[in-house]
Structure 1
């Protein structure tokens, strides 16, 4: 991970590829971005943006370089785009950064280190799941926009007639293989440098059911680490899995398989109280 940061830092004034950074960390782009966010709290793209704007502010404050040249150096094609981004971080325009005594924000370079954190226990199971098919709604997200856009999108979707039609395929019954009434399957979709993935909300496909307007995906057989939590704590649990559990165990993620969140609604309880089981595909190191 430190090699990945070295690569990013050495290329802030040029082209930075998250895929290349992931190669430095010896993992897929999908896994790298999940691990990065779990540990640091921002996506790699957001880290790159903040670091570039930190360096840009330093150059403007102490030098005579033209604003347009600084903007181009740090990846902005137009002065307007650079000014908007600069103002969002520093609260002032690039030209104002030249004034004496102005306050500028600095986002420091990160370093990864091994840290022993007091023996917290977290229960998990290692389970085997045969292959099965999921049928449902498919939406593409990037790792950069997922945490901003996905919750609102799915919250709105579950109020639609299309979702009711999806739910009626099984009427809430558990699938025979997945043993869950509802699931989200996150499938890496390596497309250029956008690092997008498919987020499929659906149910285990009943036999002889036609896809119709829904997406059908075959989920391969896999070994999973299973973690139990609530819908309210699901994101926190996911960060724990990638940020602490993986580094402290003898497992690594099976890059060829998707992460799955299985949902278990409870009658008369709000959504935040719904049970969630994370199924994270693993192999021995």
Structure 2
């Protein structure tokens, strides 16, 4: 069974269970990947989080049910997984811009999200640059937080870009930079263009709906790690993609476009599997002062 078939069978399962509990582990089992990897692929390829897709589909069907005046609002709410009519009403209004009761009226405007499907679309006219690196085990350290996968926000409701802005304003980013010795790139055998601070995410399981995210640095012999979270990175083979491209008009990809291409094009044709256990977002500056980003993903290798 190929990638497209697995993903569409996973969608089949979701559609068949919109009126009951949806087991994320079962979705991943059908797609032959982890829950995290399925959610990651789903959001990068379809540009909507998995939970949001499920919510939209349920509320689309709920609106259709409400057109039948014999269906009580309470019964429709329970049918699609809402514990109270109030929570259902809030969700319904957020999507349809009117109350469930108003949705019964003839001529009212409702919003519908159709079932999604994964299809083969001819792409690949623009080449993708990547390289494979093998690295021994090492450690990273830094500022750790846990984020919800649905809205990519932490428990305080801050998004990842907001957290970066906050630590830049309050001086935490500068303090982190001061813990890094000047020879870290040589000691870790890293490219001189890599910046000292990077992002490392999904390196451990927190839950099916959350992931860990570390703003951190490579731990060298003289790093000052007191007060920071330390994470072990196992010996791994990595595939590395860059936002730099000499083949598109702007000379670079934005991160969203690059991630979409990795999961919708490269992953389908490479015959390699991206593994759980951590992904890096490295921030770089080349010799001409041009800033770019590298995405590092752990992959299977013959030795693993």
> Is the TM-score greater than 0.5?
yes
Cα distance in 1 for partners of 2:74, 2:98 equals 16
Quote the Cα distance in structure 1 between the aligned partners of 2:61 and 2:21.
15
Alignment of 1:1-285 (within 5 A): 1-146=7-152, 149-170=159-180, 174-175=184-185, 176-177=187-188, 179=190, 180=194, 181-194=196-209, 196-207=210-221, 209=223, 211-229=225-243, 233-255=254-276, 257-265=277-285, 274-283=291-300
SS in 1 for 2:243: strand
Q: Which runs of 5+ in 1 are unaligned?
A: none
Question: Cα distance 1:43–1:280, how it changes in 2: closer, same or farther (>3 A)?
Answer: same
Aligned residues, how many? Answer: 280
Q: Cα offset for 1:46?
A: 0.4
Calculate the aligned-residue CA RMSD, in Å. Answer: 2.4
Pair 1:229–1:211, CA change in 2 (3 A): same
Q: Structure 1 residue 76: deviation in Å?
A: 1.2
In 1, Cα distance between equivalents of 2:256 and 2:189? 21
Partner-residue secondary structure (3-state), 1:226: strand
Contact preservation (8 Å) 1:83, 1:94: yes
Per the alignment, do residues 203 and 178 of structure 1 end up closer, same or farther by CA in structure 2, a change over 3 Å counting?
farther
User: Cα offset for 1:172?
Assistant: 6.6
Which stretch shows the higher mean deviation, 97-106 or 59-68? Answer: 59-68
Q: CA offset at residue 130 of structure 1?
A: 1.8
Return the alpha-carbon distance in structure 2 between the equivalents of residues 203 and 265 of structure 1. 16
Alpha-carbon distance change, 267 to 182 in structure 1, aligned in 2, over 3 angstroms? farther
State the shift of 1:208 in Å: 5.1
Partner of 2:247: none
> How many angstroms does 1:167 deviate by?
0.6
| Separation (CA, whole Å) in 2 of partners of 1:178 and 1:71 | 57
Q: Deviations over 1:199-226 (max 9, x none)?
A: 1111111315453221000111211111
List gaps (5 residues or longer) in structure 2.
1-6, 245-251
Distance 1:94 1:268, change over 3 A: farther
Q: Deviations over 1:176-231 (max 9, x none)?
A: 2262322211125434442x111111111131545322100011121111111169
Instruction: Using the TM superposition, give the Cα deviation of residue 239 of structure 1 relative to its aligned residue in structure 2, in angstroms.
Output: 2.1
1:60-84 Cα deviation digits (max 9, x unpaired): 0124211111111111122222111
Classify the secondary structure of the residue corresponding to 1:158: helix
